[in-house]
Structure 1
Amino acid sequence: MPSLLVISSAPAALLDGKPFLDRKFVEGMRFYTDLWDGPVNCLLRVRSGSFPFGRVYDPAELPFGIRFLPSDRIPGAPEVSGQDVVLCSGDNHDYLHLAALCRRSGQKLVFIIEYVPETRRQILFLDRSRSLPKKIRSLIWMLGQEIRRRRAFGLADGLQANGYPAFAAYEAINPNAIMYLDNRIGSDLLATGDEMAARRRRIGEGAPLRLVHSGRLERMKGSQDLIPIAARLAARGIDFELDIFGSGSLEAELRRDIAAQGLSGRVRLNGVVDFETELVPFARQQADLYLSCHRQSDPSCTYLESMGCGLAVVGYANRMWAALCRASEAGWAVPLGRVEALADALAEAASDRPRLAACCDAARAFAGAHAFEHEFERRIEHLRRLA
């Protein structure tokens, strides 16, 4: 039976000699072991200390083998020896050398890619901790790594691109490339028929527009636009509520702005909550529309996860949401960085209730067709064909 090695960037640590692992990572690895016809192992870089949403595991309870690599060491021939198929991140430059190594050894290698060069540049220039000269040096380094990346992708046996932008950027380099839409919404977490019907009734009756936003509250994520958008809606006399989930460096600033704009009764900061037991039920039962202020074109899970809860989406037309919006017909995409345009789209959603309800239904249908297990099965089948 062929063996599979997953080289993961998931956080991992050793506490009292036992692995401390991210719970979602472990659940994802269970899918590999359930669907792969052979032994599954993973290689993780070890870090110091614990981290949120993790726990200590007994190695005997894990259905996969696990090996740790020191944080200052890159994987090489000893780490991949004896493995038939190797799966690893193409975003991580520390793994790109494996393409030539596996080609020489006859092992099959598949890269996963999420970011495109545009997104890397956007993230770099939004980093306020770096001076302009440092950013320029980093940009030159990034250009060199992109040349390495494209060369490695050409040598690999397959490529799995997460999202429309990554697939468009790299599909021509490797003839065995597939696209998938990563998300945490399995069929068991999708909005139910009763919940969708209740939302349609609420929307049709002209109830206040119920908006939700979740994620890290950082400038890189566009969180600074949330309160200006809410203020514009209030100034227009639109009846709405906005619930914000997450934490970050902008949290205190958002709290001050909510008070300063007189939005305390309409906009709520709810902090970090559990995804499955708190955020998903809230979105399914207490919201109508997801508000995204994200400018980068990375394949954020948030789009599909919100759609799976039955929410229409209003967001900036970065390359990911623009393509997903066209494919799903699940909302509105407006020009990047245009706060007024986002407010306009929300005002349209509030006034055109039939369209809003149709977008919610389209969102749920599209997400259902791309539920976690469906996307994962496609990826495993892609690997199986190589083995």
Structure 2
Amino acid sequence: MTVTQNLPSLLIYAPVPLFFCAGEYYVERQAVNGLRLWAQHFHPVTVMMPLDAAPRNTPPPQGWVPVRTHLEDLAGVRIEPVPMAYRPDQFVRALPRTLRQIRALIDKADYLSFAIGGLFGDWGAVSCLAAHQMQRPFAVWTDRVESEVMRQQLEQGSNRAQAGDDNGIDHGIWRSQLRARLYHRPMARLEQMVIRRAHLGLFHGAETFETYRGFCRNPQLVHDIHISSRDHIDESSLAAKAASVAKGPLRLVYAGRAEAMKGPIDWTTVLERLKVMGVDFEATWLGAGAALPQMRARIARAGLADRVHFAGFVEDQSEVLKQLRAAHLFLFCHKTPESPRCLIEALTCGTPILGYGGAYARDLIANHGGGRLVRRGDTDALAQQVACLDADRTRLAAMIRKAHADGAPFTDVSVFAHRSDILKQHLPGPDRGAAKQHPENKGRHHTSPQRRGGGVGAARLDSPALNGWPLSSSSGNGGAV
């Protein structure tokens, strides 16, 4: 058992919202696991998280759990709520008080790591700049190129408008288009400014690593996953799965939100093309989102309703993994530069990934070839890849084994341990004097697939009413905006 008294302290910012409903706080289920794993390497772990500004009796989203039911997992974790302030006026009002709160927390912590992504209300970026002003070395974390995601959303919306597409997912797109037009350039400048000042860059996935490494004095490629070694497909099940593909319909799956950035309409387009090509298949989409009605309508018009299942949001992670293990291929059409965990989860289940190419996906299957990638947006090429594997089941069986090999290094314990080791190796520790004199590391460090790290986990919020759960008096703002 870890002797927590000998562990250094850690301060992180995680933009996973907290919710307050019926007298208690709620946090994302996977965030509990992330904080539990951080607490194996640091003590205490203090996490700043935005408190949702919805009315206090608004039910939390699916996947959020009461803090009180996970106090044992969160022993040694301390929650510091900060305001959710994504509008400019909210941010300006909240900044003075929240900045004082952040500075006080920075002053108490041995190690600092802040997630960034956004513009107004990005308390991770504010924390980075505050640490820089205080001459405290810090790490910056990100799992997608947020400014580029916003720029591409603007471009996609403009393309739909020029094409006169009245089947777009969001008919009220003008507001988000205006926001994207105003925000994406200053957002990119903020990202670069913060990363240039960081002593360490923790970039989840090769997509973010390749984008940001040139701005960072010490970039590190890491990964974020919440799959334990017990969740990986075992050897006997893998052998049975590889043997089972010899006959029967091809089983396709996707797990994620049905939102524009995930390419849900491209996904249905591929299925429509597979029908024309005569491929016998069954497909399942696990996840909810704004695009589901349009997806269902297209599938119905194509005469595929008996072959395509839309499961909606599935809260039970074991059920998600069961579906991934049962599938022959994980079909994805991601349109933006991000590092989604679902690709790693598929590989750990022995399910090859087929989809749009990008640095992140290419890196995941670089060692063993557990998948195939095509140019982003090329639905015909993607359908052709699926059809080729359907026609060559021996090749598909071999790819299933390769996918398992590509996923083997990834467990939640290993990636969080790796991330913790990087922080301790590349940032000065509790000796504050040494911290201020710490020399800059100008090298470029690209880790191997066996040495990838974990993402910023989320933490739990507490209040004095929650059975002694620690809540700093500096958190008195309660996230009110």
TM-score (norm 2): 0.74
Which has the higher mean CA deviation after the structures are superposed, 26-35 or 318-327? 318-327
**Structure 2 equivalent of residue 22 of structure 1:** 28
Query: Which residue of the other structure, out of 11, 23, 29, is the alignment partner of 2:17?
Result: 11
**Structure 1 equivalent of residue 342 of structure 2:** 302
Partners of 2:148 and 2:184 within 8 A in 1 = no
Tell me, what secondary structure is at the counterpart of 1:340?
helix
**Cα displacement string for residues 24-73 of structure 1 (whole angstroms, at most 9, x for unaligned residues):** 1111100011122x311111111133222122223964311112122233
Structure 1 residue 130: deviation in Å? Answer: 4.2
**Structure 1 equivalent of residue 47 of structure 2:** 42
Query: Which residue of the other structure, out of 114, 117, 140, is the alignment partner of 1:91?
Result: 117
Question: Aligned pair 1:158/2:200, yes or no?
Answer: yes
Tell me, what secondary structure is at the counterpart of 1:358?
helix
- CA distance 1:11–1:234, shift in 2 (3 Å): same
Measure the CA separation in 2 of the matches of 1:92 and 1:137.
12
Structure 1 residue 310: deviation in Å? Answer: 0.7
Structure 1 residue 248: deviation in Å? Answer: 1.9
Measure the CA separation in 2 of the matches of 1:172 and 1:298.
18
Structure 1 residue 89: deviation in Å? Answer: 1.1
**Structure 2 equivalent of residue 188 of structure 1:** 230
Measure the CA separation in 1 of the matches of 2:113 and 2:64.
23
**Cα displacement string for residues 261-280 of structure 1 (whole angstroms, at most 9, x for unaligned residues):** 22233222222213522110
- CA distance 1:85–1:16, shift in 2 (3 Å): farther
Question: Aligned pair 1:291/2:291, yes or no?
Answer: no
**Structure 2 equivalent of residue 278 of structure 1:** 319
Structure 1 residue 113: deviation in Å? Answer: 1.6
Measure the CA separation in 1 of the matches of 2:262 and 2:298.
17
Query: Where do 5+ consecutive residues of structure 2 fail to align?
Result: 1-6, 86-93, 158-169, 430-481
**Structure 2 equivalent of residue 252 of structure 1:** 293
Partners of 1:84 and 1:107 within 8 A in 2 = no
Query: Which residue of the other structure, out of 264, 275, 295, is the alignment partner of 1:234?
Result: 275
Structure 1 residue 206: deviation in Å? Answer: 2.8
**Cα displacement string for residues 72-117 of structure 1 (whole angstroms, at most 9, x for unaligned residues):** 3354243223122222112244232433421332433111022224
Question: Aligned pair 1:103/2:132, yes or no?
Answer: yes
- CA distance 1:297–1:97, shift in 2 (3 Å): same
**Structure 2 equivalent of residue 56 of structure 1:** 66
Measure the CA separation in 2 of the matches of 1:218 and 1:293.
11
**Structure 1 equivalent of residue 474 of structure 2:** none
Letter in 1 for 2:414: H
Partners of 1:126 and 1:220 within 8 A in 2 = no
**Structure 1 equivalent of residue 433 of structure 2:** none
Tell me, what secondary structure is at the counterpart of 2:266?
helix
Query: Which residue of the other structure, out of 68, 82, 87, is the alignment partner of 2:108?
Result: 82
**Structure 1 equivalent of residue 413 of structure 2:** 373
**Structure 1 equivalent of residue 150 of structure 2:** 120
Supply the RMSD in Å over aligned alpha carbons: 2.3
Structure 1 residue 328: deviation in Å? Answer: 4.5
Structure 1 residue 17: deviation in Å? Answer: 5.0
Tell me, what secondary structure is at the counterpart of 2:309?
strand
- Number of aligned residue pairs: 383
Measure the CA separation in 1 of the matches of 2:229 and 2:355.
25
Measure the CA separation in 2 of the matches of 1:266 and 1:100.
52
Query: Where do 5+ consecutive residues of structure 1 fail to align?
Result: none
**Cα displacement string for residues 289-343 of structure 1 (whole angstroms, at most 9, x for unaligned residues):** 1010112121111111111111011101234324434344111111221221111
Tell me, what secondary structure is at the counterpart of 1:297?
coil
Question: Aligned pair 1:360/2:366, yes or no?
Answer: no
Letter in 2 for 1:6: I
Partners of 2:118 and 2:187 within 8 A in 1 = no
Letter in 2 for 1:229: V
Tell me, what secondary structure is at the counterpart of 1:217?
coil
Which has the higher mean CA deviation after the structures are superposed, 82-91 or 296-305? 82-91
Structure 1 residue 140: deviation in Å? Answer: 5.2
Measure the CA separation in 1 of the matches of 2:259 and 2:375.
20
Measure the CA separation in 1 of the matches of 2:71 and 2:385.
52
Tell me, what secondary structure is at the counterpart of 1:108?
coil
1:158-177 map, 5 Å: 158-177=200-219
Letter in 2 for 1:185: I
Measure the CA separation in 1 of the matches of 2:295 and 2:21.
36
TM-score (norm 1): 0.91
- CA distance 1:42–1:119, shift in 2 (3 Å): same
- CA distance 1:230–1:85, shift in 2 (3 Å): same
Letter in 2 for 1:66: I
